[in-house]
Amino acid sequence: MHEEPLPPLADGEVLVRNHLLSLDPYMRSRMDEQGSYAEAQELGEVMMGGTAGVVVESRNPRFKVGDPVIAQFGWQLFGLSDGKRVRKVDTSVAPLSAYLGVLGMPGVTAWYGLKTICRPRAGQTLVVSAAAGAVGSVVAQLARLAGARVVGVAGGAAKCSYLINQLGLDAAVDYKCGQLEGVLADATPDGIDCLFENVGGAVFDASLGRMNQDGRVAVCGLVAGYNDHPIPLFNVRAILNRRLTLQGFIVSDHMEQWGAALAELTGLVKTGVLKYRETVISGLANAPAAFMALLAGHNLGKQLVALT
Ligand X SMILES: NC(=O)c1ccc[n+]([C@@H]2O[C@H](COP(=O)([O-])OP(=O)(O)OC[C@H]3O[C@@H](n4cnc5c(N)ncnc54)[C@H](OP(=O)(O)O)[C@@H]3O)[C@@H](O)[C@H]2O)c1
Region near ligand X per CB under 6 A, out of 53-61, 70-78, 154-162, 256-264: 154-162
Report whether 55 contacts 66 (CB < 8 A): yes
Angstrom distance (rounded) from CA 19 to CA 68: 10
Nearest to 304 by CA among 109, 154, 156, 95: 95
Q: Which of 79, 106, 209, 215 binds ligand X (CB under 6 A)?
A: 106
Is residue 295 close enough to count as binding ligand X by CB under 6 A? yes
CA dihedral 179, 185, 188, 193 (to 10 degrees): 110
Angle between helices 134-145 and 258-270 (to 10 degrees): 80
Is residue 109 close enough to count as binding ligand X by CB under 6 A? yes
Region near ligand X per CB under 6 A, out of 12-20, 38-46, 134-142, 186-194: 134-142
Distance in Å, CB of 220 to ligand X, minimum: 5
Contacts of 120 (CB under 8 A, 6+ apart): 114, 126, 143, 146, 147, 148, 193, 194
Distance in Å, CB of 96 to ligand X, minimum: 18
Is residue 154 close enough to count as binding ligand X by CB under 6 A? yes
Alpha-carbon dihedral sign for residues 203, 206, 212, 215: positive
Instruction: Give the up-direction half-sphere exposure of residue 226: CA atoms within 13 A in the CB hemisphere.
Output: 22
Element (H, E) at 307: none
Tell me the per-residue interface mask from 197 to 236 with ligand X, x by CB under 6 A, - otherwise.
-xx---x----------------xx-xx------------
Show contacts with ligand X in window 163-182 (CB under 6 A). 175
Residue whose CB is less far from ligand X, 106 or 215: 106
Distance in Å, CB of 297 to ligand X, minimum: 3
Distance in Å, CB of 206 to ligand X, minimum: 11
Residue ranges binding ligand X (CB under 6 A): 24-26, 106, 109, 130, 132-136, 154-155, 159, 175, 198-199, 203, 220-221, 223-224, 249-251, 294-295, 297, 299
